[in-house]
Structure 1
Amino acid sequence: MRALRVLALLLALCAPAFAVNPDEMLADPALEARARGISAELRCLVCQNQSIDDSDADLARDLRIIVRERLTAGDSDEEVMDYVVDRYGEFVLLRPVFAAHTLILWIAAPLILIAGLTYIGLSARRRQPQVSPELSPEEQAALDELQSGYVQDAGSKSSGRNETP
């Protein structure tokens, strides 16, 4: 029974590997490798954070079939990617292209990080207490008196706790 549980767990962990069905695979290993490479770069429009190669969704299966059909028709990898992007939009790409209209995607995160670090640094600088260089003799005497009184009070309180009435 334990071995069956372990086997079920291993199969569950390997589930993304089973996303590409055997009936989808191409007979030519070179074309299949190209198809897998392209599929790894395309987003499943249903799952959104998985590639179509890892997704079990019906739309991902359709996209995998389209990729393989285009490759068997003789298209290059770029032509297949262009075909899919033309048909489904740039959102289908797991890595957005670097262009003027996607510049905000590439620049926003580093700018927000820099702004946050700057804010934290300025806040920390403002919160540092202003320490006077030296205490006057009267201030030092008062501080010493307070500290010695605190140490004596703490000592008497701790010894009082241990005594039984």
Structure 2
Amino acid sequence: MTREEKSIAIEDLTAKLAGVSVVYLTDTSGLDAETTSNLRRACFKAGIKLEVVKNTLLEKAMEASDVDFGDLPSTLKGNTSIMISDVANAPAKIIKEFRKKGQKPILKGAYITEDVYIGDENLDRLASIKSRAEVIGEIIGLLQSPAKRVLSALLNNVEGKSEE
């Protein structure tokens, strides 16, 4: 790779990292072609961008980015794939699903809205993070519950009076 190609690759990676709130770094080395293809397909269906990257280029892109990735660049050793998503727990769920059949992909680290998680031991915690849609659904459910009880009580009260 020439210097100019490296510079372009760093600019592209920096642009991809700009404004993202969810970035996972994984090790996908050793996956066979079929498993890799299935992983890419699952990521595409979930709206996750998956790309194998060169560690030095990604590290320079992280440094050039306005985002503070904390200690995440320290995980850039060996084979690295980057997963970029809008949903915080989506990449973790896909990794967990693929780990049922094998030992990879391995979570190196993740950046989720200013929080940095280092190490594969965080996978369960990341998978259990509720998405924005799930949180909104729970809030709506909680707000609707008292209203439903009031309406039910009023309807029961009205029905009881009309029978008298």
TM-score when scaled to structure 2? 0.31
Larger radius of gyration: 1
* More RCO (CA 8 Å, sep 6+): 2
TM-score when scaled to structure 1? 0.31
Higher helix proportion, which one? 1
